[in-house]
């Protein structure tokens, strides 16, 4: 298999939350690692769907797009949906001009490191303490802002 086709990561359980994606080889800064795939739909339809984790009403596989629509990775999603959030991320999610969303390495990532990006989740208006807590972050980084919300 050519080196470029070898997978960059595998999925296993994560200390941050549930499943996570872990590098299985060195990933250089700027590498386009994976596309965030799933069903493209409206916020309204995505929020009407059954919870992605029945034990956690705030668990989400939804990625908000610039055009006001979403990618709902609970339908037709790929392994990108297992990438957790971090407040000190090694990856970033970029929405490209054609609307595709790709996860890029922001720095060199060593084998065994967990991949993560800053979800920058939002709620209507300024988030209350309660809302921040609903989306509590467990990334464990020194500069953890305590929530996955973009505050
Ligand atoms: C796209 S999923 C990521 C995969 C997730 N670990 C799982 O096993 O389903 C996003 C969800 O994972 C959880 N999550 C991801 N990053 C987290 C973090 N830093 N702290 C707490 N929960 C996190 C939240 O429930 C979030 O809604
Ligand atoms: Zn954090």
What pairs with residue 56 in β-bridges?
Answer: none
Mean pLDDT, residues 27-55: 96
Contact 40 CB / ligand 1 (< 6 Å): no
Does 151 reside within a domain? no
Q: Within a domain: residue 76?
A: yes
Pairwise CA distance, residues 149 & 151, whole Å: 6
Q: Given the DSSP bridges, would you call strands 19-23 and 39-42 parallel, antiparallel or unpaired?
A: unpaired
β-pairing verdict for 84-85 and 69-72: unpaired
CB-ligand 1 contact for 39 (6 Å cutoff) = no
150 within a domain of the structure (yes/no)? no
- Kindly report the CATH number assigned to the domain that includes residue 84: 2.170.270.10
List the domain range (segments joined by +) for residue 66: 3-134
Q: Which of 85, 103, 134, 149 to mutate to test the pocket of ligand 1 (most atoms within 8 A of CB)?
A: 85
pTM metric for this prediction:
0.96
**CB distance 117 to ligand 1 below 6 Å:** no
Nearest residue (CA) to ligand 1, atom 27: 59
Domain count of the fold of the chain: 1
Q: Where are the alpha helices (DSSP H) in the chain?
A: 43-48, 129-134
**pLDDT given for residue 4 in this prediction:** 62
Residue 74, in any domain of the structure: yes
Q: Is residue 141 part of a domain?
A: no
Q: Is 7 in the pocket of ligand 1 (CB under 6 A)?
A: no
What CA–CA distances, in Å, run from 145 to 61, 99, 130, 135?
A: 21, 29, 15, 11
For residue 146, the ligand closest to its alpha carbon is 2
5 or 46, higher pLDDT: 46
Residue-wise pLDDT tens digits, 45-70: 999 999 899 999 999 999 999 999 99
Q: Residue 143 domain-assigned? A: no
What's the pLDDT tens digit per position in 70-121?
Answer: 999 999 999 999 999 999 999 999 999 999 999 999 999 999 999 999 999 9
Residue 54 lies in a domain: yes
pLDDT at 84: 98
What pLDDT is stored for residue 151 in this prediction? 86
pLDDT at 1: 64
| Whether the predicted pLDDT of 3 surpasses 80 | no
Round to whole Å and give the CA distance between 119 and 147.
Answer: 10
For the Cβ of 60 lying below 6 angstroms from any atom of ligand 1, the answer is yes
Residue 143 has pLDDT above 80, yes or no: yes
Nearest C-alpha neighbor of 139 from the set 123, 111, 115: 115
Which has the closest alpha carbon to 82: 104, 55, 115? 115
Residue 140 lies in a domain: no
Q: How far apart are CA 8 and CA 27, in angstroms?
A: 7
Query: What pLDDT is recorded for position 102?
Result: 98
Q: Average pLDDT in the 5-22 region?
A: 96
């Amino acid at each position: 298999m050519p080196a470029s086709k070898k997978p960059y990561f595998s999925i296993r359980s994560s200390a941050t939350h549930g499943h996570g994606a872990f590098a299985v080889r060195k990933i250089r800064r700027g590498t386009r690692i994976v596309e965030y795939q799933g069903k493209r739909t409206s916020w309204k339809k995505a929020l009407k769907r059954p919870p992605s984790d029945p034990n956690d009403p705030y668990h989400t596989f939804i990625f908000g797009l610039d055009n006001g629509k979403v990618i709902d990775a609970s339908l037709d999603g790929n392994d990108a949906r297992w990438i957790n959030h971090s407040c000190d991320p090694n990856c970033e999610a970029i929405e490209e001009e054609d609307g595709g969303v790709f996860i890029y390495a922001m720095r060199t990532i060593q084998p065994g490191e967990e991949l993560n990006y800053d979800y920058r989740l939002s709620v209507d208006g300024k988030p209350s303490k309660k809302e921040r807590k609903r989306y509590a972050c467990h990334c464990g980084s020194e500069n953890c802002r305590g929530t996955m919300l973009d505050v």
